[in-house]
Copies of this chain bind each other. A is one copy, B any other.
Amino acid sequence: MNATSLDKDILFVSMVLNAWDTYTKRVTDFLDKISDQGLLTQVAPDRNRVYYLIGHLTVVNDRMLPLLGIGDTHYGEQEAMFLTNPDNKELSGPTPEVLRQNWKDSLERLSKGFKQFSTDEWFSKHSAVSEQDFEKEPNRNKLNIIINRTNHMASHYGQLLLVKEK
């Protein structure tokens, strides 16, 4: 590999991680500003509450740990509440304080894991694809998970932006 193509590999990884960092920072800033009462606001009439969306994004982050091979999930018991079912105000979940902390912890764990990866590891398969399928579809690599999850986060961030606190 010549220097130019090696540089390009490193550059590409940094471009993807920069976009991830941009959106995690935007969500974190939003969460730091909103009140506990604001968490209970729906982003639009009959749509998800902020509370649900933050829990949802946290659980999706959490599931990236085994997918990327950097750890086990920590919030498996919250998947029914925030992932497999729609928002339900009747159910009681984590307190606002715990919800906020879980979001930050989920990012911290990912960030630590990301730092361990070499460029080649970023282009290796994630755990939800078989060796055979990966040979045919080499885009199903770890870095692609970050691209897709950043877009997923951006789509919910757009919804969070609709909330106005009085």
**Chain A interfacial positions (CB closer than 8 Å to B):** 1-2, 4-9, 11-12, 14-16, 18-19, 22-23, 43-47, 123, 138-139, 141, 143-144, 147-148, 150-152, 154-159, 161-162, 164
Contacts and interface: CB of A to CB of B under 8 A. Distances in A.
A5 B9 contact: yes
Prevailing SS type, chain A contact patch: helix
B154 A44 contact: no
Copies of this protein chain in the complex: 2
A16 B159 contact: no
Contacts of A159: 158-159, 161-162
Given A19-B148, A151-B23, A162-B47, A123 B157 contact: no
